[in-house]
A and B are shown apart, each in its own frame.
Chain A
Amino acid sequence: MNKKIYGSAMSTVLALSLLAGCSGTDDNPTTAAPTTQPAETTTVAEETTKAAEVETTAPDNTAEIPQDYKYYFSFDEADERVHYASQDMSATPIVQATNDEITYVTGVKGNAIYLDGTKGAKLDVNGVGSTYTVSFWVNPLRSAQYMPTLQYGPDIHGDVTGGQHYVNFTWAKWDPEDTSVLEYPCVWAYDQNDDAKWPNWYPGGLDDRVKEWTNITMTVDENELSADGTLVIAHLYINGEEFIPTDSDGNERPVQIVFNTMAASDNYDFLLGVNYWDAIFKGAFDEIYIYDYAVDADVAKALYEAGDASAKYEEPEYIVEIVEDANAIDTLGTPDLDLAFWSEFTETVEIKDGDSKVIKFNNYSDGVNSYDNYVMVFTNQAHAADVDPNSVEGNKEFAAVRADAYGWLDGNGENVIPESSFTYTWGNWSKWAQLMRDAEVTLTVSREGNIIKINASNIDYNNAEQLMTATIETSMADSDSCFLTLTGEKCYVELLSVGDALKIEPDSNAIDHLGSVGDNGAPVLGWWSDWTGAYEIADGETKTVTLRNYSSGAENWHNFVTVFANTNIEGHKAPADQSTDYYEYCVLRADAYGWGSEDNAHYSPEFTTSWTDWSAWLAAMKKADVTININRSGSVLTLDYVFAGYDGVEYTETAKVTCDVIDASKPVYFFFTGESAYIELLSVE
């Protein structure tokens, strides 16, 4: 059953005009400018019909806008070439098109595509050649350093060529005359495989252009080169007028980009509001044109004049779409959200003294009251699902704890748990109630004597964490058992899993370890902050390493890393500090990624993995017993990994790296480091 829930009116960001003031992170804040305030706007109905032959649909202003474009996106109606795109750091590729229905708002001409800050868009576009024009309208609701608007390129993330290659229209604080101002549009291009050229251009004197429509047109002719011939001069038009600032000496400072940014490729990305690294855009795009030639100034003006820059739109409210999860092991209530308080319960989970349990579930609620959510009840008796604890003989209720950081003790609603027992990260209850309409919840619950500790991580529909913690002193005696059951009110709960919390248990047999265990039980290890000692591997030799890897599970690279170098390394000291001759042949992460020195000049990798589901691999690596057979043969280093995962599944990987600076006469050593991991080296043979 699918059910859409229209939440109560969301407070729109448009209604507030609080001043964007002091910079939070910079040395030199300046006087801030008030944000703009669009007037009343109209939300466009979400239902649209697909238009066939969209490319042949010409805009109205045919007299002025050339119709020989290679691509045109009006965003007036459904277009099969337009996809929302997620940014999932644990996925490969990180940016992936989704099948989510497109939301439209009022644009500068007809409708515009709306991006809600949790996902961008990917358009079916391939490169059109070395001479081209891109034109688009953008109306952001927020800005942030390096947040992308339009970013395109033959291999943005370098997944295919090993070198990142793109143009990005972004925000940055690059104006040396005022480094506190976030300006738009800044143009940042990169070609990692062409001498790592990374030209970055700022307009100078502009602001962030948030909450207003801006038309950007950029023309590129690769015959027009910078003075030294290493870059391409581009012409940038802002709202129909060419924009060429001058430097302090009065010299023109045009946009410069790298070559071949519109070269066709099998991995071409044309992305709106999302990339592989940065915060996701929120706002709207409209009227995108791509030509395979450089339009002139008149056309650039026509592209601007064809749109109504004064058009307004209102941020669409979030619509909760409940898609029942077939994998749910239990549910409370129904998608109608009519669950009456204390009417349904999950099967109990025992929380033994000293143990922790992790319970995952989806929480949907009506967003009306903060208490219209899940509730945790701690009792002394086990019971089956849908059994009222109070009906169980000998039942003692130690505590009932609501999602909204409120609860009571001993089954007595008057015996309220002290506020000081709770912490929570949200600061606006109205908003929080809305956010909890669609939340993925992970509870980590532990017992220490009569103390119950709760860590409730509620990931809302903006992919933001609403965290509540509770440390509750109960009347529980040491001899009492403690069971947890879930109930709720005006919500629908889908119980997904119940398991033991991952616990890092140092192995006394380990010959070395990296990292430490944080107070919250998570591994703590900063990148390039600690290292094992090195082991030499001779030409033709194979060494077998066993280690245990605990990771945060948050990112693919939060695991152990193997480093090959030319000098012996003493453990726990910065490698480069130990020898002036130190040279890294390569650094190989566990997640089939790596690099070499000198911009990979002597590094040629091949990775193969047995898995395609990176989320599953990442979860497994939270605690994995790892065996690595490391072979050195000439200039080739081969690592065969076996990851015996936390999930009981075995994953394998082979990394075969050619480092052409290695020959039989040169010593090769390997050692381990990592990030946000706890790594126990068990054996090297």
Chain B
Amino acid sequence: MKKQLTCSLLVAAMAVSALAGCSGGGGDTQTTTNAGGSSSNNNNSSSDTTDLTTDKITLTYWHYEDETTIQLMCEKFNALHPNITVEPKVISDMSTDLSAAAAAGTFPDIFSGTDSDTALANAYWADISEYYDADPETQNLLPTISEYGIGCFDTSMRFAVPTYYSPSAVFIDRNVIEHLNLEMPDTDWTWDEMIQLIKDATVDDRTGMKYYGLGYYNRLDSLYGIAACSPEERAIKGEFGFNGDDFDLSYWAVGEQQFADLKVGGYVSPQQDTQAMEDWSGDWSTWFGSTGHVAVFSEGFWSYQNIWGTDGYQEEYGLDIVPYVTPNVVDEKEHNVISTMYMGGVSTSCNYKREAYEVLKFMSFGVDGWNARMDIYEDESITNSSGVALKHSNMPVPITLDEGVWSRYKALFPTDEEHKPFWDDYFSSITRPVPYGWYNIAGYWNFCDQYFNKIQIHETVDAGAAKAADYVEEATRQANYYHAEAMLGYFGADSAYAEYYGQILSDEDVAKYQAVVDSFAQ
């Protein structure tokens, strides 16, 4: 549901320094090389934990990941810290579950969520800057976390860290390309080259099933947003052209229109569970990714792990799927990638915040945690309740840049001579995630819920009934308003957080956001 709302606009902002004021990264623009984490398969802790309590305690961790995986992770954490038991729980509905827990006095000590507005509006997440800043491992994470202040929400505090990372991905079926006598593009391709391939690979010989250039899960406007312009033009760090201060949907509109034009032009395959799919493939339930009649896919990375990468799948359907770098519009060699990025934090109600931080770290970016995950994922005899090996059950991508972890992680994917180069290039391209807006921009979800989705922009533009550009001015105004209102509501003097930290925003920021709100009301 939320995915359908996204229309992003981001940019390769490699030169952008860390968010001013956020204590997360202090301007340390990281590279993709290992800066000090472990580099082997071991269980040595990477940071000092001697200050942890020796009391026997139990902490609760609520999450959205595979239940079996996190249960095993809890056990592995306990093996490292025998006095700390972690009880996990899969969240059913974030807002409902958390509010019920708050009312019942059973609030989790740590939780990871699929949006951030719920947590921020209710001051559920505590400021963990003290622990994060003192942790040397945070210096070796995906660089956009510090550069863009992911988890800081444009404040001077850190309320969350990414707990689950899965980037968007473009995939190509090599068999389709070969069948259509087309050339595989360079992995360092451009946006225009991708669009042209989609068009070239849409082939209809008026017999049987047409070949479509594109099958999509992620709309292309979301991808375009991260590729639209140089950081010098606009330092975009979030969807809808968000640069930390305000939105500019003019970039988004270009991608939105381009995608709509492809749909109207007949370059995009039908979706699963539709009459159009049944008419095309003969079966209502067909997924376009199994047809062997689609060339380019705009997918979540999990589509490979969960489906294409399972044993025998590609052979059964005659596919040869390889990942591609999300192309840039401008000539930037470093790629941002729009991503699913659950955010997790330590609860304000938690009595053992230091220990809870250690759990949070273990579950998200910590090297120890990632090595523990690799032990789990490498052993395909371990399955979840559905009998699925855990690496095929929404396995996330490492958030640490630790070379040892990455070496083990890459080994889970094709390593043969023919396919490895594609995977190497792809993995090199996904170190700069930009979360979808609802993970990291205050008020973003309200904007989508109250405005963007209600006026059915995607549907209207996709149907050719209007141009995306028509919406830019008002949508930008609305987005800025919802963000400003949320920043004041979450971090202002009257916010729930004020009880813990006073007014988090500076007076200058308050005045800035209030001006936007006041301007909107006029």
Contacts of B313 in A (CB 8 A): 19
| Nearest residue, chain B, Cβ from A204 | B385
Complex Cα gap A432–B316 (Å): 27
Q: Is B329 an interface residue (CB 8 A)?
A: no
Q: Is A425 an interface residue (CB 8 A)?
A: yes
Known contacts A519-B467, A527-B454: A29-B307 contact under CB 8 Å: yes
Q: Is B455 an interface residue (CB 8 A)?
A: yes
How far, in Å, is B343 (CB) from chain A's closest CB?
A: 14
Q: Is B392's CB under 8 angstroms from A31's CB? A: yes
Q: Is B273's CB under 8 angstroms from A518's CB? A: no
B266 contacts which of A11, A282, A423, A522 (Cβ < 8 Å)?
Answer: A423
Q: Is A435 an interface residue (CB 8 A)?
A: yes
Contacts of B460 in A (CB 8 A): 518, 524, 526
Most buried by A among B302, B317, B392, B393: B302
Contacts of B210 in A (CB 8 A): 426-429
Q: Is B279's CB under 8 angstroms from A464's CB? A: yes
Complex Cα gap A520–B465 (Å): 5
Known contacts A18-B283, A20-B272, A519-B466: A31-B340 contact under CB 8 Å: no
Q: Mark B511-522, 1 if CB is under 8 A from A, else 0.
A: 000000000010
Q: Mark B441-462, 1 if CB is under 8 A from A, else 0.
A: 0000000001100111000100
A21 contacts which of B4, B287, B454 (Cβ < 8 Å)?
Answer: B287
Known contacts A370-B206, A522-B465: A30-B393 contact under CB 8 Å: yes
How far, in Å, is A364 (CB) from chain B's closest CB?
A: 19
Q: Mark B265-284, 1 if CB is under 8 A from A, else 0.
A: 11001111101101111111
Q: Mark B12-37, 1 if CB is under 8 A from A, else 0.
A: 00000000000000000000000000
Which chain A residues in 573-602 approach chain B with CB under 8 Å?
573-574, 577-578
Among B42-50, B88-96, B99-107, B418-426, the stretch that binds chain A is B88-96
Complex Cα gap A12–B456 (Å): 35
Q: Is A428's CB under 8 angstroms from B209's CB? A: yes
Known contacts A20-B272, A205-B385: A176-B91 contact under CB 8 Å: yes
| Nearest residue, chain A, Cβ from B297 | A22
Q: Is A462 an interface residue (CB 8 A)?
A: yes
Give the number of residue pairs across the A-B interface with Cβ within 8 Å.
Answer: 188
A425 contacts which of B272, B276, B306, B393 (Cβ < 8 Å)?
Answer: B276
Known contacts A19-B287, A31-B392, A177-B385: A524-B466 contact under CB 8 Å: yes
Q: Is A574's CB under 8 angstroms from B279's CB? A: no
Q: Is B3 an interface residue (CB 8 A)?
A: yes
Q: Mark A237-260, 1 if CB is under 8 A from B, else 0.
A: 000000000001000000000000
How far, in Å, is B170 (CB) from chain A's closest CB?
A: 14
Complex Cα gap A282–B278 (Å): 12
Complex Cα gap A7–B388 (Å): 44
Q: Is A685 an interface residue (CB 8 A)?
A: no
Q: Is B264 an interface residue (CB 8 A)?
A: yes
Complex Cα gap A409–B266 (Å): 23
Q: Is A177's CB under 8 angstroms from B90's CB? A: yes
Q: Mark B224-268, 1 if CB is under 8 A from A, else 0.
A: 000000000000000000000000000000000000000011100
Known contacts A18-B286, A176-B90, A427-B269: A31-B307 contact under CB 8 Å: yes
| Nearest residue, chain B, Cβ from A17 | B283
Contacts of A464 in B (CB 8 A): 275-276, 279
How far, in Å, is B383 (CB) from chain A's closest CB?
A: 11
Known contacts A18-B281, A144-B273: A25-B287 contact under CB 8 Å: no
Contacts of A141 in B (CB 8 A): 284
Known contacts A29-B307, A176-B91: A425-B392 contact under CB 8 Å: no
B1 contacts which of A20, A22, A25, A32 (Cβ < 8 Å)?
Answer: A25
Q: Is A32's CB under 8 angstroms from B287's CB? A: yes
Contacts of B212 in A (CB 8 A): 427
| Nearest residue, chain B, Cβ from A35 | B285
Main SS of the interface on chain A?
Answer: loop
Contacts of A48 in B (CB 8 A): none
Q: Mark B190-212, 1 if CB is under 8 A from A, else 0.
A: 00000000000000101111101
Q: Is A430's CB under 8 angstroms from B208's CB? A: yes
Q: Is B492 an interface residue (CB 8 A)?
A: no
Q: Is B275's CB under 8 angstroms from A462's CB? A: yes
Which chain A residues in 165-202 approach chain B with CB under 8 Å?
176-178
Q: Is B273's CB under 8 angstroms from A426's CB? A: no
Q: Is A229 an interface residue (CB 8 A)?
A: no
Known contacts A13-B278, A30-B394, A518-B465: A526-B283 contact under CB 8 Å: no
Which chain A residues in 427-444 approach chain B with CB under 8 Å?
427-432, 435
Contacts of A25 in B (CB 8 A): 1, 3-4
Q: Is A28 an interface residue (CB 8 A)?
A: yes
Contacts of A26 in B (CB 8 A): 1, 3
Number of interface residues of A (CB under 8 A): 63
B282 contacts which of A11, A210, A429 (Cβ < 8 Å)?
Answer: A11
Q: Is A29's CB under 8 angstroms from B283's CB? A: no
Q: Is B281's CB under 8 angstroms from A528's CB? A: no
Complex Cα gap A360–B283 (Å): 31
Q: Is B207's CB under 8 angstroms from A426's CB? A: no
| Nearest residue, chain A, Cβ from B313 | A19
Q: Is A228 an interface residue (CB 8 A)?
A: no
Q: Is A31's CB under 8 angstroms from B306's CB? A: yes
Q: Is B264's CB under 8 angstroms from A423's CB? A: yes
Q: Is A432's CB under 8 angstroms from B279's CB? A: yes
How far, in Å, is A452 (CB) from chain B's closest CB?
A: 18
Contacts of A15 in B (CB 8 A): 282
| Nearest residue, chain A, Cβ from B206 | A429
Q: Is A24 an interface residue (CB 8 A)?
A: yes
A526 contacts which of B206, B207, B456 (Cβ < 8 Å)?
Answer: B456
How far, in Å, is A440 (CB) from chain B's closest CB?
A: 16
Contacts of B279 in A (CB 8 A): 426-428, 431-432, 435, 462, 464
Complex Cα gap A248–B90 (Å): 10
Q: Is B287's CB under 8 angstroms from A27's CB? A: no
Q: Is B137 an interface residue (CB 8 A)?
A: no
Q: Is B82 an interface residue (CB 8 A)?
A: no
Q: Is B217 an interface residue (CB 8 A)?
A: yes
Complex Cα gap A427–B454 (Å): 31
Most buried by A among B271, B286, B388: B286
Q: Is B450's CB under 8 angstroms from A143's CB? A: no
Contacts of B289 in A (CB 8 A): 21-22
How far, in Å, is A101 (CB) from chain B's closest CB?
A: 23
How far, in Å, is A274 (CB) from chain B's closest CB?
A: 15
Which chain A residues in 324-363 approach chain B with CB under 8 Å?
none
Contacts of B64 in A (CB 8 A): 28
How far, in Å, is A175 (CB) from chain B's closest CB?
A: 9
How far, in Å, is A59 (CB) from chain B's closest CB?
A: 32
Q: Is B364 an interface residue (CB 8 A)?
A: no
How far, in Å, is B7 (CB) from chain A's closest CB?
A: 15
Contacts of B316 in A (CB 8 A): 19
| Nearest residue, chain A, Cβ from B453 | A526
Q: Is B114 an interface residue (CB 8 A)?
A: yes
Q: Is B118 an interface residue (CB 8 A)?
A: no
Q: Is B217's CB under 8 angstroms from A24's CB? A: yes
Q: Is B136 an interface residue (CB 8 A)?
A: no
Contacts of A22 in B (CB 8 A): 217, 272, 287, 289, 299-300, 303, 306-307
Q: Is B466's CB under 8 angstroms from A518's CB? A: yes
Q: Is A42 an interface residue (CB 8 A)?
A: no
Q: Is A30's CB under 8 angstroms from B265's CB? A: no
Known contacts A19-B317, A21-B287, A27-B340: A178-B386 contact under CB 8 Å: yes
Contacts of A143 in B (CB 8 A): 273, 285
Which chain B residues in 100-132 approach chain A with CB under 8 Å?
114
A142 contacts which of B4, B285, B385, B455 (Cβ < 8 Å)?
Answer: B285
Q: Can you list 27 pairs linking A and B with CB atoms under 8 Å apart? A: A13-B282, A16-B282, A18-B317, A22-B217, A22-B299, A28-B394, A29-B302, A29-B303, A30-B386, A30-B388, A31-B310, A31-B386, A31-B392, A32-B287, A32-B307, A142-B284, A248-B89, A423-B265, A426-B276, A427-B209, A427-B279, A428-B209, A428-B210, A428-B279, A516-B470, A522-B465, A526-B454
Nearest 5 interchain pairs by C-beta? A526-B455, A21-B287, A518-B465, A176-B92, A427-B210
